[in-house]
Amino acid sequence: QVYLVESGGGSVQAGGSLRLSCAASGNTDYRNYMGWFRQAPGEEREGVAAIYTPSRFTYYADSVKGRFTISQDNAKNTLYLQMNSLKPKDAAMYYCAATRIYSRSPLYQYDYHYWGQGTQVTVSS
């Protein structure tokens, strides 16, 4: 079992920054891939960024490349998402997720088995 708790969401103006955190616990075998996903009202959940934790290899959606950075702190068992140059279209509920292995893509939500409760990000123009 894996337990994930997100924090760090909030309200920010366009162009601003936020850093999301995800505190993880439980079986590390099921945390080989960890990702950040987001879901805006009326839209499907989409993958934003993911990391292969043994090597720290990262994956990003085109929409956030160059603006968002995913990272991990193994000593704190925490995953981060640094979000810079935020845009109104980045506003969503952000979720942390974990899985042992993926079959389609590290950014494909149905490849992930463990989810946090989410943290809300609001971006005003």
pLDDT tens figures, 8-25 = 999 999 999 999 999 999
* Mean pLDDT across 112-119: 98
Quick one: which of 36, 23, 9 has its CA closest to 91? 9
**Tokens 């960890």 found at:** 34
pLDDT tens figures, 28-77 = 999 999 999 999 999 999 999 999 999 999 999 999 999 999 999 999 99
Structure tokens at 66: 């160059």
CA distance 25 to 2: 6
CA distance 89 to 106: 22
E strand or H helix at 78, and its extent? strand 78-83
